[in-house]
Amino acid sequence: MAQVNFVDVLDDDAIFEGSGWDALVIIATDISKSGFDEVTLLAEHGAKVDKRVGQSPTLLFAPGLAGGRLIISPVKNSKDDFEDVRIFADAARAGIKLARDAGAIRPLMVVAGDGHERYQFSTQVAALSCGQELWQTLERREVSGDTPAFEAIGLFNSTQASQSLNAIEAGRNLARDLCGTEPERMSAAAFADYCVAAYQDSGLKVCVVEDRDVLERDYPLLSAVGRSSFAVSRHQPRVVKLEYVGEGEIEHTYFYAGKGVIYDTGGADIKVAGGMAGMSRDKGGAAAVAGLMKTLSMLKPKGIRVVAELGLVRNSIGSEAFVTDEIITSHAGVRVRIGNTDAEGRLVLADLLSHLRIKAEKSVKPELFSVATLTGHVVRCFGGYTATVENAVAKQAGVAASMANLGLAWGEPIEQSVLRREDFAKIVDPSGAADILSSNNGPSSVTARGHQYPAAFLLEASGLSAHGLSSNKAMAFTHVDIAGSATEGHPLYGSPTATPLVGLFQYMTSK
């Protein structure tokens, strides 16, 4: 996997010619406070002949500095009450793009903030934004043989940051490849194989479930979604099971269910009016969890155990396709009436969560999460932001609030939604024939509480509803809907972001 390589730089002389760096990229709220008199003088001189200097990203001829190139990319509106650390990401992306276009291959980046607490991770966020800007699709890399744009990116005045950033970026790169690749190249089998290859010698426990009899027995809802795909060998479902165990006494255990719908046609409730385009990105949840496990395997945080299950399935159309009105018993023994075959993601997650629930019953301080590009409703509500919906146990423990605080600090803001009694009312089967109804028969984007009530379904269908506040084994569960944040740019074919990998990693390792 081609990715950027970050290097810590502490030598003040690194900004000068002959240091091994070939461009100096300044990311600053105030160029006069970059810390280098040479930069300030050049910027002041440049501003006299080009008013864009200090106002927009600019390249200055800089004899004596690294590569003779000085790139100034200003951070705008840092005093604005409603801005956050992403303004450093915006500036860094613009600056690093200018460096690439100018022909640099070893740029040195200096991030000069204003010391405000909300910008405490500005250097890290700026660096990671470069990885996002420079990522190229797997299909393009495989055809053209493209290599990384830079040999390395230096991070000035950074101490031991590069190791963690490179590991985070390795995970994000894996997640981008898995999410952003077309559905034949990244079929369920290919997704599983790509993960196995990425985890080789990682120390992770990896198991791939592919036998149809086992899948239908242990993952009945997932197998219903993939029923029509079984007829095509290259489209058949997979479940990837992963486990990371840190050194020392285990103090917390985290469980992740990742939605990996390789392609969503809508099934028998077929998507119309061009609605299928871009549905190869419906595997963003499983991709983000897969990337998270890669990062964990590289940084090896102590005292935690992390277990993940990725449900990889194609929601195909055909004579074997499952249909609305069917009643299917979940792994947890809950009889589910299918309300809409285009609400397939929650079915996949429910079986995964049921398996994780059983493991969590015997684990130390378990917390469970589902990560999915689940609903159009979350996009309608929050645009490009991730949303969390938590059960009462997680709410009491402040899980979503903590995630939101860390996500904001690291450039992955989260909106917090609340689970209410009306959400459980929505999944009552009116006929009484089934225990619960999977969904209504309309698009989530026009359904009241369309991204909240699926969390109620997940709790009931997985058996997690029996582990509430009054249970002898209470379990915190948080549903993470990334339908709005999994990609950026083009509405159908934008670049995968690997969200919420960074925030989840910080959440697990900050305790």
**167-193 pLDDT per residue, tens:** 999 999 999 999 999 999 999 999 999
For 331, phi and psi rounded to 5 degrees? Answer: -60, -30
Kind and range of the H or E run holding 224? helix 220-225
**H-state helical runs in 361-494:** 376-382, 392-397, 399-409, 421-425, 453-462
Q: Which residues of 408-436 are buried (b: 16+ CB within 10 A; e: fewer)?
A: bbbbbbbbbbebeeebbebbebeeeebbb
User: Cis ω on the peptide bond leading into residue 500 (within 30° of 0)?
Assistant: yes
pLDDT in tens, 292-343: 999 999 999 999 999 999 999 999 999 999 999 999 999 999 999 999 999 9
Residue of 93, 259, 346, 395 with catalytic role = 346
Residue 110: which residues within 8 A CB-CB, separation 6 or more? 15, 24, 25, 26, 27, 28, 34, 35, 36, 156, 157
Active site residue 380: no
Structure token pair of residue 473: 């084994």
Quick check: helix, strand or coil at residue 20? coil
- Which of 86, 241, 271, 380 is an active site residue? 271
Q: Distance between CA atoms of 386 and 404, rounded to whole angstroms? A: 10
Whether 271 is catalytic: yes
pLDDT in tens, 423-440: 999 999 999 999 999 999
Are residues 313 and 262 in contact, defined by beta-carbon separation less than 8 angstroms? yes
Give the position of tokens 């008013």.
51
Predicted confidence pLDDT, tens digits, the chain (511 residues): 567 899 999 999 999 999 999 999 999 999 988 889 999 999 999 999 999 999 999 999 999 999 999 999 999 999 999 999 999 999 999 999 999 999 999 999 999 988 899 999 999 999 999 999 999 999 999 998 878 889 999 999 888 889 999 999 999 999 999 999 999 999 999 999 999 999 999 999 999 999 999 999 999 999 999 999 999 999 999 999 999 999 999 999 999 999 999 999 999 999 998 999 999 999 999 999 999 999 999 999 999 999 999 999 999 999 999 999 999 999 999 999 999 999 999 999 999 999 999 999 999 999 999 999 999 999 999 999 999 999 999 999 999 999 999 999 999 999 999 999 999 999 999 999 999 999 999 889 899 999 999 999 999 999 999 999 999 999 999 999 999 999 999 989 999 999 999 999 999 999 8
Q: What DSSP letter does each residue of 35-100 carry, written as one string?
A: S-HHHHHHHHHHHHH-TTBTTB-EEEE-TTBGGGEEEEEEPP-TT-TT--THHHHHHHHHHHHHHH
Q: Residue for token digits 């059960």? A: 391
Give the number of residues written for the chain: 511
- CB atoms < 10 A from the CB of 294, how many? 27
Joined tokens for residue 75:
């951070």
